[in-house]
A and B are shown apart, each in its own frame.
Chain A
Amino acid sequence: EIVLTQSPGTLSLSPGERATLSCRASQSVSSSYLVWYQQKPGQAPRFLIYGASRRAIGIPDRFSGSGSGTDFTLTISRLEPEDFAVYYCQQYGSSLLTFGGGTKVEIK
């Protein structure tokens, strides 16, 4: 089973700052199967990025994804108040899904 490790666990930033979130896989992952979600308290996850770098419909262009192999990154170029949330990466392979442990982006 592929393990996804997200870092940092918590990111304390101010609105307008840049957020860089990491997702590292225990073995190589197909980029096309690497996905990012956002989750706010009391809500279901929201689909943000697929194929490591392709934004879902309606996702602002301040969100961008990159990476390949075992190292992937979600970048939020300028944090808006509504972006403070928990972010999860997820991979799919061999009919199995795994999620990373999440990174909480909190207001500093």
Chain B
Amino acid sequence: QVQLVQSGAEVKKPGASVKVSCKASGYTFTNYDINWVRQATGQGLEWMGWMNPNSGDTGYAQKFQGRVTITRNTSITMAYMELSSLRSEDTAVYYCARVVRWALASTDYYYLDVWGKGTTVTVSS
């Protein structure tokens, strides 16, 4: 079945970087974009960016421009999200999610159909 398995929890100091991985299985990795979304405790969902695993093209939310980098290794069907210059406000659960995009009768649809279980990143001195 389609699965996204994320790496384990991380504890980082302010100013450090964190790299979270997302292992895809059960489908052709290069056929579906991957998005990253985070959620601080008790808060809503916050979109960070996307990546096309086939081309390596990426796009980032303006809030994270310059601090976030999404990459992939197609040979091992892995996606990565690296966030730098960490601060306490970056403490959150980070999710990867698969994008489904398809068209029916000239109407395009776009949604995140499968999510990883999340990786908790704690930033604390």
Chain A interface residue number, banded: 20 to 34
Which of B45, B50, B108, B109 interacts with A45 by CB under 8 Å?
B45
In this complex, the member of A56, A96, A102 whose beta carbon has the largest number of chain B beta carbons within 10 angstroms is A96
A51-B116 contact given A1-B62, A45-B45, A96-B61, CB 8 Å threshold:
no
Closest-by-CB residue of A relative to B33 is A95
A101 at the interface (CB under 8 A from B): yes
Which of B35, B61, B117 interacts with A44 by CB under 8 Å?
B117
A84 at the interface (CB under 8 A from B): no
Residues of A within 8 A of B80 (CB): none
CB distance from B5 to the nearest CB of A (A): 12
**Contact between chains at A95 and B50 (CB < 8 Å):** yes
Closest-by-CB residue of A relative to B107 is A32
**Contact between chains at B108 and A32 (CB < 8 Å):** yes
Cα-based distance from A5 to B45 in the complex (angstroms): 13
**Contact between chains at A33 and B110 (CB < 8 Å):** yes
Residues of B within 8 A of A92 (CB): 110-111
Cα-based distance from A40 to B107 in the complex (angstroms): 31
**Contact between chains at A96 and B59 (CB < 8 Å):** yes
Residues of B within 8 A of A101 (CB): 44
A35-B112 contact given A44-B118, A96-B61, A97-B35, CB 8 Å threshold:
yes
Cα-based distance from A53 to B45 in the complex (angstroms): 21
